[in-house]
Amino acid sequence: MVISTSKESSKEGTKENSKEKAIYGTDDNHASFSYMLFLTGHIVSIDEETNTFRLRVIVEDDSERTLEVHFGEKPASGVLVNVSDYKVGDHVAIAYFPYDRKGSYINADSVDIFHEGYDRVRKDDRIPEYIY
C-alpha cells in the first residue's frame, strides 16, 4: 500500500509537515504519486553485485522486450530486495513508481513471485487483467 501527501504540503517547512516528509519521503516525486505500476515478466539474468536483474516482458504488440530492473537500498515499501533470493526463469511481478522508469531501466520498489492462478495485475485503476 502506498500513501502519499500532496506536493504543496511536502514543500512547506512546518514541524508537522517535517513529520510527513519522514513518513512519506523527502522526494517531491514520492509526494506526487499515490499509486505504483506493476509489471510481470521472466528473469533472464541476475547481477548480485549491483542487485539488478534483466526481466523479459511481453509488450502490447506481443513482441518481447528486456528491461533492466534495479532494487535500491531504501524502497518506499520498507522491504529490502535481494536479487539472490530469485533465480533465472522465475516469473515475477515488480512494483515501481511511474517516475522510477527511464526507458528500459526501472528502479523498482518490490518484487514477488507471480502466481498465474490467483495474482492480478491492474493495467490501469479500473480494469484488472489476468496476465499469463
Q: Kindly list the domain boundaries of the chain, sorted by start residue.
A: 1-34, 37-129
Q: What are the residue ranges of helices labelled H in 1-132?
A: 7-11, 15-24, 28-32
What does the pLDDT look like over 99-113, one tens digit per residue?
Answer: 888 989 999 998 988
pLDDT at 33: 55
pLDDT at 78: 76
Per-residue pLDDT of the chain (132 residues; tens, 9 = 90+): 343 333 333 334 333 333 333 334 445 554 555 678 888 899 999 999 999 999 999 887 888 999 999 998 877 777 789 999 999 999 999 989 888 889 899 999 989 888 766 555 544 444 445 444
Which 8-state DSSP code applies to residue 78? S
Query: Which residues partner with 111 through β-bridges?
Result: 94
CA dist 53 and 57 (Å) reads 13
Of the candidates 95, 37, 89, 32, the one whose C-alpha atom is nearest the C-alpha of residue 69 is 95
CATH number of 37-129: 2.40.50.320
What does the pLDDT look like over 16-29, one tens digit per residue?
Answer: 333 333 334 445 55
